[in-house]
Structure 1
Amino acid sequence: MKQVSILLFSVLILTLSKVNAQNNIPHLNKNGTATQLMVDNKPFLMIAGEVHNSSASTIEYMEPLFPKLKAMNLNSVFVTLAWEQFEPEEGVYDYSLVDAIIDNAKKNDLKVCLLWFASWKNGESSYAPLWVKKDTKRFFRVKTKAGKEIETLSPFCEATKQADAKAFGQLMAHIKSYDKDQTVILMQPQNEVGMFQQIDYNPISLELYEQAVPNQLMAYLKKNKSHLKPYLRDAWVASNFKTKGTWKEVFGDTPESRAFFTTWQYATYINFVAKSGREKYNLPMMVNAWIVQKPEDLPGVYPNGGPVSRVMDIWKAAAPDIDIQSPDIYLTNFKKIVAMYHRDDNPLLVPESSAKVGRAYYAFGQHDAICFSPFGIEDAADNFVFTKSYEVLHEVEHLIKKYQGTGKMKAVLQEGNEEYNDVYLGNYKLKVVYEKPNQPSFGIIIQESKHEFIVIGMNLTVFFSSEKKDTVGYIGQVYEGRYENKKWVATRLMNGDETYHHSRLRVFGRTFETTEDIIKETKKEGEPDAYSPATKQKIITPGVYRVITYER
């Protein structure tokens, strides 16, 4: 009888824990100036990667992929789910792929952002089901100025919007029912949306363009007039800030006006889809952008209607059920782009990027990012520096989460011909010099107390000076080390040659020496040759340093 009672009690506890898990679903939470993604009611950094578009198109192909991702030190992955496979016939749903994604991710201790490739992907509509593609009368397409229908589904088609939203709602309801351990923590409806022209020349579109700007948008513009994006504000100022009228009257008969109109339509469409899903399972929602490649590019050169930085405010007004607008960044000016997207009402999340791991450190350390995720992540499986750099991010993620939103954490990243950056923390100015220009040079700097700093990175030299009047700042001690289970372990006290007698911190990184096989390396902490060149091939990955300063 006693054993039966214990068994019943265990079942009750397990049931309650599942109920609590469903109640405490992933959500966003403000912490100081940062917005954090909460998973199991704790901040979660998505140290992530996005797999290729077709990598999860069959169970056979995806199964061996997930252990590889785990071995790369990811804790989360962006995975595609196509509408054409989820609803191959209207009203007939196939859950096998989404279940396999959840099961394989869970087995490898990975969290998931599902990418709903449905009406649009990269400004095209190739992932829509065949029953949608074939019925061009019911699901009509974008028209060119010459009246030709192109392959892209029109954002003005009510039937497509309703069908997409219905399928997405069904997906979200199934995830809620199936994913009891909340492996899926984030959703992205559509991908890099927009059309490669300034406006859809369908009669419905052209008729709406002659009507008044929606009150919802005008109310937003008036409320946020003082800090609108310049691209939008400059178009509005030309009409002396008209507060009512048609799109032409408020913004002029210009490419910008047509772009704002097109953006409003895409954003309201996708918000409808997102809301339909959130009503079934209220996970955070994000959208991503094929960003403007050149400042002089007109709408339509890039997908017109997507959440590019120029029109973020229109998306904020039109799509309240979208939490985050995110940039896909393959351009070289990473720092400038992330600064455009990181706003008080828009936390930074990078869902696609080239696999330059210094970008991850900069995004997390400088902009309190929720996520960094290179695209085609499986291609970086043999990139030793990337894998080890992600490992170090896991080592220090408790610090990153702790100091997000406090103003006590900064980051540096060498771009182009930059030689150094100045960082200010407390009373100290840190001049961070980039070393070894042909190798990655980046880092995160955290001020733990008035005179204690943690520096995580590689190929940097850091000079400390006091900004306090009539005071000189000095380096007192430098330790090289690591964190084990969030506890600091000092592996070397650095002085003399290693710090040039405490005139600077030399962020060597962790050195791996090898002859042929990268797997059979001998790990060493820090550069072994202070003055003379190394005699063996070396691989450098980020290291962790603690600096004690003093003033007099």
Structure 2
Amino acid sequence: MFAQSKVPYLTKHGRATQLVVNGQPYLMIAGELHNSSASTTEYMKPLFPKLKAMNLNTVFVSVAWEQFEPKEGVFDYTLVNAIIDNAKENHLKVCLLWFASWKNGESSYAPMWVKKDTKRFFRVKTKEGKAIETLSPFCEATKIADAKAFTQLMKHIKEYDTDQTVILMQPENEVGMFQDIDYNKVALDLFEKEVPKALMTYLKENKKQLDTYVSNAWSKSNFKTSGTWKEIFGDTPEAKAFFTTWQYATYINFVAKSGRGQYNLPMMVNAWIVQKPDDLPGVYPNGGPVSRVMDIWKAAAPNIDVQSPDIYLPNFKEIVARYHRDDNPLLIPESTAQMGRAYYAFGAHDAICFSPFGIEDASDDFVFKKAYGVLNEIQHYILKYQGTGNMKAVLKEGNETYEDLYMGDYKIKVMYEKPNEPSFGIVIQTDANEFLIIGMNLSVYFYSEKRDTTAYIGQVFEGRFENGAWVTTRMLNGDETFHNSRLRVFGRLFESSKGIDQINKKEGDPDAYSPSKMQKTITPGIYKVITYER
């Protein structure tokens, strides 16, 4: 049995929130397996060594209710144990995804004994009165059955996982219904009742910080503090959405709280996010933790620590800004495998985690492996500077050409090079006149913000970290920095004309930044810059 102090937990570090594992802050350099990859022990076993070779330290893996409790009250721990054992053998941590009542707004992972008993476990109804396959969040019997299974899962993890392999849990997945409201009588009757006091108390206490979507809807009643859903939010799609969201969130909070009673691991939920600004609830899963209703979730689900976006849209920077709040750290459980996104999330938004979906598909992606390898090298610096204001990041999106950063006495202009290739990086101010810059395809200029003062680059070093210690691979000057007028963040270069797996590093070659007939593959690099002013 664990002492509570050994259980992973979230804590503040400056303005950032960090995950603490085995007493140390932990950065989840992660990936999520495909939905069925852990459905058998045979299929999952060869995947874990590949994940470790990709420089991951954490993997998101699903556990299906239908396999965990194939018969009511009968639990099968085979797959859970195999996930833990394989991860432990490959020195990986795990976030378990509980695919139970809902996954992607549907209920295909519920056990057959639940699916067949439509009287006890009733379904969402359409406006026409048709029961669809999705389990209703208003069904008390389903909620209790789900919570019982999840509680047993948490109890087993606590007993079996003696090395703290599982560090985070996700109850359900991308929840919500593809309609404006559940037309079951129990739901419609509740919709005519007063808004719960807990939600009204939250809205009143957080009125100045509410998301505009919630605030604008509330303003329709001139911010009434009691009444029915329609009286508070109007006879609107928003009123139905807030009501539906409250029900999903309280249901999942019940499941999470029940599980945490056995083993108090941090809990997160993820969202199938709004795809277009004018999409009405139900076009996307209505009731899930989309950014519009994060405040409803905060009020309804205190046992959920983090609300997380699954991001496949191109406007990554805009989306993460919505989810990173003082009361909600950024944790990205699903994304495309674009490495600039990871660097930007960690460097600009103090993210706890970045995790592309279908991670095994990237197992042969050389650049991905190397980029994750660099994150492993510098994670101690990321963790140290999260929440301090001394770390920022850049990421080229669309037609952007540059970004200005302000750090200490400096304005730092970061130009994006090679418009058709990824350009991204992290900038850490480690001292008044010292900067660590990690990334690729950038040109970086330093300007003084002090009156009548000019900033200069004094020295530039290219290097790496070994066991946390800096190792200089070469000093850059002359043509490599245009005589210290800028830092050229090209990244690390590798031969790609033959056997990339041979990894012929070109960092030390005298012609590495000069024209060459040899085709190169570029991955992120690490640079130390010493500046001065006069």
Instruction: Provide the C-alpha distance between the structure 1 equivalents of 2:475 and 2:299, rounded to a whole number of angstroms.
Output: 54
Instruction: Provide the C-alpha distance between the structure 2 equivalents of 1:531 and 1:138, rounded to a whole number of angstroms.
Output: 69
Instruction: Provide the C-alpha distance between the structure 2 equivalents of 1:467 and 1:96, rounded to a whole number of angstroms.
Output: 61
* Residues 423 and 430, structure 1, Cα contact 8 Å, conserved in 2: yes
Instruction: Provide the C-alpha distance between the structure 1 equivalents of 2:509 and 2:525, rounded to a whole number of angstroms.
Output: 11
Instruction: Provide the C-alpha distance between the structure 1 equivalents of 2:473 and 2:157, rounded to a whole number of angstroms.
Output: 46
* Residues 194 and 304, structure 1, Cα contact 8 Å, conserved in 2: yes
- Tell me if 1:88 matches 2:82: no
| Match of residue 440 from structure 1 | 422
> Aligned-pair distance for 1:516?
2.6
Instruction: Provide the C-alpha distance between the structure 1 equivalents of 2:42 and 2:104, rounded to a whole number of angstroms.
Output: 26
Instruction: Provide the C-alpha distance between the structure 2 equivalents of 1:548 and 1:516, rounded to a whole number of angstroms.
Output: 37
> Aligned-pair distance for 1:527?
8.6
* Residues 388 and 541, structure 1, Cα contact 8 Å, conserved in 2: yes
SS at match of 2:505: strand
* Residues 511 and 538, structure 1, Cα contact 8 Å, conserved in 2: yes
> Aligned-pair distance for 1:534?
2.8
> Aligned-pair distance for 1:530?
7.4
- Tell me if 1:48 matches 2:30: yes
| Match of residue 7 from structure 1 | none
* Residues 480 and 513, structure 2, Cα contact 8 Å, conserved in 1: no
- Tell me if 1:340 matches 2:322: yes
* Residues 506 and 512, structure 2, Cα contact 8 Å, conserved in 1: no
Instruction: Provide the C-alpha distance between the structure 2 equivalents of 1:208 and 1:310, rounded to a whole number of angstroms.
Output: 22
Q: What amino acid is aligned across from residue 220 of structure 2 in structure 1?
A: A
| Match of residue 450 from structure 2 | 468
- Tell me if 1:451 matches 2:433: yes
SS at match of 1:524: coil
- Tell me if 1:535 matches 2:531: no
CA deviation map 1:184-218 (0-9, x unaligned): 00000000000000000000000000000000000
* Residues 285 and 324, structure 1, Cα contact 8 Å, conserved in 2: yes
- Tell me if 1:77 matches 2:59: yes
* Residues 511 and 527, structure 1, Cα contact 8 Å, conserved in 2: no
Q: Which residue among 245, 253, 260 is the counterpart of 2:242?
A: 260
- Tell me if 1:303 matches 2:285: yes
| Match of residue 163 from structure 1 | 145
* Residues 508 and 527, structure 1, Cα contact 8 Å, conserved in 2: no
> Aligned-pair distance for 1:532?
5.2
SS at match of 2:37: coil
Q: Which residue among 20, 29, 42 is the counterpart of 1:38?
A: 20
Q: Which residue among 185, 189, 205 is the counterpart of 1:207?
A: 189
Instruction: Provide the C-alpha distance between the structure 2 equivalents of 1:461 and 1:131, rounded to a whole number of angstroms.
Output: 60
CA deviation map 1:60-89 (0-9, x unaligned): 000001000000000000000000000000
Q: Which residue among 308, 311, 319 is the counterpart of 2:301?
A: 319
SS at match of 2:506: strand
Q: Which residue among 215, 218, 221 is the counterpart of 2:200?
A: 218
Instruction: Provide the C-alpha distance between the structure 1 equivalents of 2:172 and 2:435, rounded to a whole number of angstroms.
Output: 42
- Tell me if 1:418 matches 2:404: no
| Match of residue 58 from structure 1 | 40
Q: Which residue among 273, 285, 289 is the counterpart of 1:291?
A: 273
SS at match of 2:277: coil
Q: What amino acid is aligned across from residue 279 of structure 1 in structure 2?
A: G
> Aligned-pair distance for 1:514?
2.5
Q: Which residue among 416, 430, 433 is the counterpart of 2:412?
A: 430
- Tell me if 1:362 matches 2:362: no
* Residues 339 and 368, structure 2, Cα contact 8 Å, conserved in 1: yes
Instruction: Provide the C-alpha distance between the structure 1 equivalents of 2:432 and 2:99, rounded to a whole number of angstroms.
Output: 49
CA deviation map 1:326-359 (0-9, x unaligned): 0000000000000000011100000000000110
Matches within 5 A, 1:327-406: 327-406=309-388
* Residues 473 and 508, structure 2, Cα contact 8 Å, conserved in 1: no
| Match of residue 193 from structure 1 | 175
Alignment CA distance shift 1:237-1:528 (3 Å): farther
| Match of residue 140 from structure 1 | 122
Q: What amino acid is aligned across from residue 122 of structure 2 in structure 1?
A: F
| Match of residue 130 from structure 1 | 112
Identity of aligned residues (%): 75
Instruction: Provide the C-alpha distance between the structure 1 equivalents of 2:469 and 2:143, rounded to a whole number of angstroms.
Output: 51
SS at match of 2:171: strand
CA deviation map 1:417-441 (0-9, x unaligned): 1100001110101100000111111
> Aligned-pair distance for 1:520?
1.6
SS at match of 1:151: strand
SS at match of 1:394: helix
SS at match of 2:309: strand
> Aligned-pair distance for 1:492?
0.9
Instruction: Provide the C-alpha distance between the structure 1 equivalents of 2:33 and 2:196, rounded to a whole number of angstroms.
Output: 39
Alignment CA distance shift 1:215-1:526 (3 Å): farther
The runs of 4+ residues in structure 1 deviating greater than 4 Å are 526-532
Aligned residues: 534
CA deviation map 1:139-165 (0-9, x unaligned): 000000000000000000000000000
Q: What amino acid is aligned across from residue 476 of structure 2 in structure 1?
A: M
Q: What amino acid is aligned across from residue 442 of structure 1 in structure 2?
A: F
SS at match of 1:522: coil
* Residues 474 and 508, structure 2, Cα contact 8 Å, conserved in 1: no
SS at match of 2:322: helix
Matches within 5 A, 1:242-253: 242-253=224-235
> Aligned-pair distance for 1:295?
0.1
SS at match of 1:78: strand
* Residues 395 and 424, structure 2, Cα contact 8 Å, conserved in 1: yes
| Match of residue 498 from structure 1 | 480
Instruction: Provide the C-alpha distance between the structure 2 equivalents of 1:213 and 1:66, rounded to a whole number of angstroms.
Output: 47
SS at match of 1:525: coil
Instruction: Provide the C-alpha distance between the structure 2 equivalents of 1:524 and 1:276, rounded to a whole number of angstroms.
Output: 55
Alignment CA distance shift 1:410-1:527 (3 Å): farther
SS at match of 1:550: strand
| Match of residue 11 from structure 1 | none
Instruction: Provide the C-alpha distance between the structure 2 equivalents of 1:254 and 1:244, rounded to a whole number of angstroms.
Output: 17
* Residues 526 and 543, structure 1, Cα contact 8 Å, conserved in 2: no
TM-score (norm 1): 0.96
5+ unaligned residues in a row in structure 2: which ranges? none
Q: What amino acid is aligned across from residue 489 of structure 2 in structure 1?
A: V
> Aligned-pair distance for 1:528?
5.9
| Match of residue 519 from structure 1 | 501
